Amino acid sequence: MTRERPSRAEAEAAVRTLLAFSGDDPGREELRATPARVVEAFEEYFSGYRREAAELFRDRMPAGPMRGQPVVLRGIDFASHCEHHLAPFFGTAQVGFIAGENLVGLGQLVELVRIYSRRLQIQERLTRQIADALEAHLAPLGVGVLLEATHTCAAVRGPCQPRGRFVTACFRGAFAEDSALRELLRSGTTGSSSPSVVCG
Ligand SMILES: [Zn+2]
């Protein structure tokens, strides 16, 4: 990002403007610390802009005998923000690839989802960016990414459908050709929310 970043004081002033626009009094005692808290929360929500996916793949390992085997991590919790309303959307990601040239650890798959989700997003692009990064850095024989999320902009405004879940997927290579591989991802979208691992 080469764009000049506004100062923290400018960002806090913008929050005070939004508070006043909402109809409240930014000078009210209980709201005094709110702009600073909101700006601090923004630092965390959007920390993905200050990171690159490439940093995760420095320690990739040669696939060796794992070549051709599926590696799937299901139930990765993520939270992001929609670029249309700055509203949170959150859910689970299922990420898999067929080992080609290289492998990465499971922690790196979680971090990959985090780098791209901690930016302003639409869910379709978030899904694609995760797949693109795996393809670019691991040269896999196939990639599958499936995201299921609740969008608060659709839950508390507009259509007001808090139980609606939005599903997006990106299947390439072996995942596009083989429905059994896609099933490996899908079975992660129900049941337990803790990550489950399928290897080999
Ligand atoms: Zn939205």
Q: What is the pLDDT of residues 86-103, one digit of tens each?
A: 999 999 999 999 999 999
Q: Average pLDDT for residues 42-62, to the nearest whole number?
A: 95
Mean pLDDT of the chain: 92
How far does the centroid of ligand 1 lie from the alpha carbon of residue 105, in Å?
32
Is the separation of the CB atoms in 84 and 153 below 8 Å?
yes
Q: Is residue 194 pLDDT above 60, yes or no?
A: no
How far, in Å, is the centroid of ligand 1 from the Cα of 85? Answer: 4
Most confident region among 6-15, 54-63, 155-164 by mean pLDDT: 6-15
pLDDT tens track for 16-33: 999 999 999 999 999 999
pLDDT digits (tens, 9 = 90+) for 35-50: 999 999 999 999 999 9
- 169 Cα to the center of ligand 1, angstroms: 19
3-state SS assignment for residue 82: strand
pLDDT value of position 192 = 42
Q: Give the confidence band of 2 by pLDDT, cuts at 50, 70, 90.
A: low
- Identify which has the larger pLDDT, 96 or 157: 96
Contact in structure between 116 and 51 (CB atoms under 8 Å)? no
Domain annotation for the chain: domains and CATH numbers: 8-45 (no CATH), 61-199 (3.30.1130.10)
2: CA distance to ligand 1 center in Å?
26
Q: What spacing in Å lies between the alpha carbon of 159 and ligand 1's midpoint?
A: 11
pLDDT confidence band for 190 (50 / 70 / 90): very low
CA of 166 to the centre of ligand 1 (A): 12
Predicted confidence at residue 1, as pLDDT, reads 54
Give the other-Cβ count within 10 Å of 72's Cβ. Answer: 21
Q: Is 70 helix (H, G, I), strand (E, B) or coil?
A: strand
Residue 148 C-alpha to ligand 1 middle, in angstroms?
A: 15
**Residue 6 Cα to chain centre, angstroms:** 25
Looking at residue 98, what is its pLDDT?
Answer: 96
The bridge status of strand 70-82 relative to strand 196-199 is antiparallel
Q: How far is CA 43 from CA 11, 48, 99, 183, in A?
A: 11, 9, 35, 37
One-letter amino acid of 144 = G
Burial readout 91-129 (b: 16 or more C-beta within 10 A, e: otherwise): bbbbbbbbbbebbbeeebbbbbbbbbbbbebbbeebbeb
